[in-house]
Structure 1
Amino acid sequence: MRVSTLSGRVTVILGGAASGKSAFAEQTCVSTGKNRLYWATSQILDEEMQKKVSRHLVQRGGGWTTLEEPFDARKVLPIAQPEDVLLMDCATMWLTNHLLADHDLQKQTEALLSGFDNCAADIVVVTNETGLGIVPENALARRFREAQGRLNIALAARADCVVMVAAGLPMVLKGAL
């Protein structure tokens, strides 16, 4: 898959689980030729997540500076400079962390988007599209799905470019790559 350089300051790449969105986002960042910062939002709470993180490290390869921060955008976004591209992987894990910690999701989303506005670097955000499946059976899962949908809408509205990845194939929904 050929990836061109970014045409906007904020790019959102969304798709289903294991759709190829992270690999596409990584290739997009590499194509910029800029210093690459990787904002890791996951918390490693079990062996399965550790294996997933390890696979992502191998997939990503060298040349990245990793910033591990599961919650606070204010600790990450000011670090990025104009010569950098910052990859947030992923907004879904970031949201999950806040949801499970019972944080005010609207307040956290506003802080994240405000941080994007004040960040000097190009930003690429990976996020999951969770609204294409069945209605979840339990209240927490339904709350998460709704919150993820609202977050994705807010991210897409703020983004210069939005790309949906399905089966490893990118489809530009807004802007251009």
Structure 2
Amino acid sequence: MKALVLGGVKSGKSRYAETLATSISGQVTYIATATPLDSGMAERIRRHREDRDSSWCTVEEPLQLAQAIRNAASSDVILVDCLTLWLTNLLLKEDEALLHQEVSLFEDAVSDCRISLIMVSNETNMGIVPLGELSRRFCDEAGMLHQRLAGVCDRVELIVAGLPLKLK
């Protein structure tokens, strides 16, 4: 089973994905992509660590997500949180070749994955087109990635106010 869990900031998407992972198995590998670029993000990361099931294997990987997924193949479930933070990390490197390489490797790893894979991502494309070039690029990259992933996932859900809306 491959699942894509989308939602806005503080929508409940991570909690929903964690509950879904636990319903499948207790043997979960949690791949965290966040990097503490400021004190606010450091606090979010701390809270996520505290909320996470302590029996899960946690891997912190901000860039090489495909390799982290492949390395976790001995688990029953892989939970990736979150794809948009991973994309941000890649975009901030300002290296087009790296971005395209890592996204391509990630999509191959998703296709090749034979265990349950749950991916969490921010749905950012429900408002106006951002003014800044980097913000527009981020929204474009995220939107296209979400579309490609939705095509290969068995399950796609949008979380709003903690409530899931089944899209697929």
Structure 1 gap ranges (5+) = 1-8
| TM-align CA RMSD | 1.4
Using the aligned pairs only, state the percent identity. Answer: 38
8 Å CA contact 1:78–1:120 kept in 2: the answer is no
Farther-moved stretch of structure 1 (87-96 vs 27-36): 27-36
Pick one of 122, 125, 133 that aligns with 1:139.
133
- Superposition pairs of residues 4-153 of structure 1, within 5 angstroms: 9-81=1-73, 83-104=75-96, 105-153=99-147
8 Å CA contact 2:6–2:121 kept in 1: the answer is yes
8 Å CA contact 2:66–2:102 kept in 1: the answer is no
Structure 2 gap ranges (5+) = none
Q: Give the deviation of 1:78 after TM superposition.
A: 1.8
TM-score computed with the length of structure 1 as normaliser = 0.88
| Alignment-mate amino acid for residue 158 of structure 1 | V
TM-score computed with the length of structure 2 as normaliser = 0.92
Deviations 1:55-76 (A, max 9, x none): 1122223221111111112431
Distance 2:145 2:34 in 1: 17
Distance 2:124 2:154 in 1: 22
More helix by share: 2
Report how many residues are paired. Answer: 166
Farther-moved stretch of structure 1 (36-45 vs 111-120): 111-120
8 Å CA contact 1:36–1:87 kept in 2: the answer is yes
| Alignment-mate amino acid for residue 63 of structure 2 | F
Q: Give the deviation of 1:108 after TM superposition.
A: 2.4
